[in-house]
Amino acid sequence: MIFRSLAELCEKIEKTTKRSEMIKLTSDFLRQLNQVEIEPAVCMLLGRPFPNTSEERLDVSWATLVDIIYRITGASRRELDAAFAKSGDIGTTTAILFASKKVKRQQLFFERPLQLLEVREILRKVAKLRGAGARRKKQRMIEGLLNRCDPLEAKYVVKIIIGEMRTGFQEGLMEMAVARAFKVPVNLVRRASMFAGDISIVASIAAKSGEEGLRNIGPAPMRPIKPMLAQVVQDIEEAIRIHGGMTSFEYKLDGARVQIHKLGNEIRIFSRRLSDVTTSLPEIVDLASRELKANEAIVEGEVIAVDKWGSPLPFQSLLQRFRREREVERMIREIPVKLQLFDLLYLDGRSLVDLPYEERRERLKSIAGEIELTEQMMTSRPDVGKDFLERAMRAGHEGLMAKRPGSPYTPGIRGKLWLKIKPTLEPLDLVIVGAEFGYGRRHEWLSDYYLAARDEATGKFEIIGKTFKGLTDEEIREMTRELQKLVVRAEGRRIWVLPKIVVEVTYNEIQRSPKYPSGMALRFARITQLRPDKSPIEADTLARVRQIFEGQIKRRRQSG
C-alpha cells in the first residue's frame, strides 16, 4: 500500500461529519491491506507512529520539525504564521508551504512512490537513535522522508510525528471499523482492545485469526491494561442511590495510579498512561518482589509521596519521582513513597476482571502480604459514608471512591460502576493551548495560560478560560521551556502551542460566555497542579464542562 492512499483516506475522513461514512471508508481501506500493514496503518490513522503499548518514542519536537520545513520549503517564520492563521492546523500549514513553494521531491532513480511500511520503518529508525548527535541524525532522516512527500503526504507525515491527526476519527470509531472490516462483533473488538492496550494490535489479530483470535486476548503479565475509570458524583447520597442502595467506599488518595506486573522474579510498574516507570520506583519494586505471594499477578494501586512521619504529601511532590531516571537513590531519601493496593486483575494464569469486586478484593488481601490496601468500608447509610469521608479528609486524602458491589473490572471504560466523590468543587483537567509573556519580573516568562477542554465530536481543544495563577516561579520557568518547544504560531507576546500539556484547574464557577467559541468560561481559574501522568485525550471534555454548568443551575434553583 502506498502512503498516499492512507493520506487520501485521512483527507476524506476529515471532510465528512458522518460517523457511518467514516467507518465505511476506513473498513474498506483496512480490507485492502496486507497483514503486516494493518497495525501501522491503524496507528497512523489515529495519529500515532507506534502502538500505545510500544516503548518506542520519536522524541521529535515541533521546533525540530519547523526547522526541517523551513529548510525544505525556504519559507519564513512570517509565512508559516500566516499559513497557520489561515488553517489552524499544523499538518495543513505544512501542506500549504509545500504547495506554495513548489517543493521538488527527491525521487529515487526509479521514482518509486513512498510506501506505507517505508514510513513506519523510517520512524522506527528515528525512534532508535540515542546519544550524542542523535538530534542531528533524526533531523536528517525526517528531512529525507519529507523530501519524498508531496504536499498531501507531508501534511499527514507531520500529523503522525506530532500526534495531531484531528480528523474527528477517534478510537471508538476505529473499533467499529475494525469490526466491520473483518466481520467480528464490535463488543469483542472493544474488550480485546482494553486488554491489548491498543486497537492497532487488535486489528492485526482480527484480520489474521478472526473471533477466535480476539477471544484469546486477555490480561497477561508485562502487557499493561487500560485502567478502569470513574465518573464524578456530587455527594455520598448520590453514590449510594446510583449503586442501588449499597456501595463500597475506599479512600481516594492524592497520588499516582500504578499497575504492578509480576512474572516469576520480574517486576514491572506501569503508569496510568501505560508508560513503564519501573526504574523510578526501585523501593516499590523491592516491596512487590518481597511481599506479593504469587508467581504471576497484575495488581493495581496508588503510590503517594509521604513526609518523614508517613503523612501524605501533595501530588506535585510525587511528580519529581516519576520524572527521574537518574539520581534515583537521592530522590528515595528526599521524597519517600508509599504503596497502597486496591485491585487484583490477574493471578497465576487466570484473568479475574470478570469476578465481582468483593471477590477480587478478598483475593488481593490474601496475596498482598505486608503491602497495605486502601481503607475500605461497605454501607447503605449516607451518615456512615459521610463519617468515612471526613476520616479520609482528616488523613490528608482527596476524598472517596465508591465501587458497586458485584461489579466486574472494565478496562478503559468510564462508567457508573466506579464513582469518585470530592468535597470541594470538582477540578478540571485541561490542556494548555496558548500562553502570553507576563509583566514586571515575569516579563521573560510565559506565565498567562489559555486553558482548553476537548470537543469529543471534533477532537479539537476549545478554550474555556485563561489564568496566570497557581504555579511557582520555578514551575513557570519550566513551563516556559516546555511551551517554547511546542510553539506553532507567535502573535507579539502571545504564542499558540500544540495541545500536549495537561494541568488540573480549580475555579469559582462556570459561566456562559460569548468570548470563546465553546460558549463556556471559567471564573477565577487557578492551576493547582501539573498532570504529566495524563495524556491530552484524557482531558475533560466540553460535555463535562457543560454538565457541571447545568449542575450549578440546578442547585441554584433548588436553593431558591
* DSSP H/E element including 271: strand 266-271
Can you tell me the distance from the alpha carbon of 193 to that of 224, in angstroms, rounded to the nearest whole number? 11
Which three cell numbers, joined as nine digits, stand for 368?
Answer: 498482598
Q: Strand, coil or helix: what is 406?
A: coil
398 assigned binding-site residue: no
First vs last C-alpha separation in the chain: 64
79 assigned binding-site residue: no
420 assigned binding-site residue: yes
Dihedral class, residue 78 (left if φ above 0, else alpha if ψ from -120 to 50, else beta): alpha
For the chain, how are helix, strand and coil distributed in percent, rounded to 5? 45, 25, 35
Going by C-alpha positions, the residue among 477, 472, 478, 428 that lies closest to residue 323 is: 478
293 assigned binding-site residue: no
414 assigned binding-site residue: yes
Which three cell numbers, joined as nine digits, stand for 417?
Answer: 460502576
Q: State how far the alpha carbon of 440 is from the alpha carbons of 121, 401, 435, 526, in Å.
A: 49, 44, 16, 20
Q: Strand, coil or helix: what is 524?
A: coil
77 assigned binding-site residue: no
If you write DSSP's letter for every residue of 94-135 in order, what string do you get?
HHHHHHHTTPPP---TT-PPPBHHHHHHHHHHHHH--STTHH
Which three cell numbers, joined as nine digits, stand for 281?
Answer: 520506583
Known active-site residue 252: yes
Catalytic residue among 138, 159, 252, 262: 252
Contact 504, 418 (CB under 8 A): no
257 assigned binding-site residue: yes
Going by C-alpha positions, the residue among 453, 548, 536 that lies closest to residue 232 is: 548
Can you tell me the distance from the alpha carbon of 363 to that of 351, in angstroms, rounded to the nearest whole number? 12
Write down the number of H helices and E strands in the chain.
Answer: 20, 20
Residues catalogued as catalytic: 252
Sequence ranges of the binding site for ATP: 250, 257, 272, 302, 342, 414, 420
